[in-house]
Amino acid sequence: MYNQIDSNKRKSIILMMIFIAIIIGLGYIFDQVWNTGGTYLGVWIAIIVSLSMTALSYFTGDKIALSATGARPITKEENGYVYRLVENLSITAGLPMPKIYIIEDSAINAFATGRKPEMASIAVTRGAIDKLENEELEGVLAHELSHVKNYDIRFMTMVAVLVGAIVLLSDIFIRGGLFGGHGHGRKGSGGILIIVGIVLAILSPLIAEMIKMAISRKREYLADADGSLLTRYPEGLARALEKINQQSQPMQSASKATAHLFFANPFSGKKISSLFSTHPPIEDRVKQLRGMA
């Protein structure tokens, strides 16, 4: 179990380093072609614009996600069962008690949001409460609390900034390359660099999106391992995933904008390439959970 946690952390760091390498590579070619004097002007512009665009989602994303899914807050008096499960897990994890929300949807799912533990919220569907056994629901809630503990919302926001920077930098490069913006570039190797730059600029957004999805999947594996460590019962989480895998109807309240937040892919039954999926295959998650000791 501890090996799984360490492995997922290492892989997330490696993927982040690849992200940064792509930005540096684009920045270097941008600098060489436009002769910006080593200032990496395009990189800074892309990062600043990406940060500005991401700031809104960073500070208000939790409210937007909860509102978009129709989640409503509950109290201990209204649903003491769910409240006590979250409360006990929070005490065990050493985390502040998050706000709890219910999504009136018959599908089994849940998600956590909030950029830090003190501002966290956990939303769980009515289907999860009604259809999961105690140990299964506890496993799902522990998984979501692990996202909070690991600052995954903040981490994925940083990833979004990097993806945005790559997309913007690529767009600047392609537009400049195609419409003559390279006129002040270095002589001799300028033409080759422009061709290499345009090819890299076209491929980089696709590669960046694939890396983003890969990081998201690694964080899901990490939350599975951390959640199992919290409950000391991986089988509960594995059984919950199997029940989700048997669902034929997608969530009614989910959208592409919020899909990455959920415990499992909310579009059940839809075939999505593993390269572009925000969640690992359920079969793989179950196999890893049952291999933990």
Where in the sequence numbering do the catalytic residues fall?
A: 144
Strand pairing of 121-125 and 72-73? unpaired
Identity of residue 7: S
How far are the Cα atoms of 108, 141, 166, 288 from residue 223, in angstroms, in the given order? 18, 10, 27, 12
First to last CA, the chain: 6
Token pair for 266? 């909310």
Is 220 within any annotated ligand binding site?
A: yes
Which among 47, 14, 28, 65 is positioned nearest to 196, based on CA atoms?
Answer: 28
Query: Rounded CA gap, 201 and 22, in Å?
Result: 10
| DSSP β-bridge partners for residue 32 | none
Is 143 within any annotated ligand binding site?
A: yes
Other beta carbons within 10 Å of 117: 17
Is 260 within any annotated ligand binding site?
A: no
Query: What is the CA 162 to chain-centroid distance, rounded?
Result: 13
DSSP state of 98: P
How far are the Cα atoms of 43, 113, 210 from residue 213, in angstroms, in the given order? 23, 18, 5
Which among 169, 141, 25 is positioned nearest to 81, based on CA atoms?
Answer: 141
| DSSP β-bridge partners for residue 110 | 124
Binding residues for Zn(2+): 143, 147, 220
Binding residues: 143, 147, 220
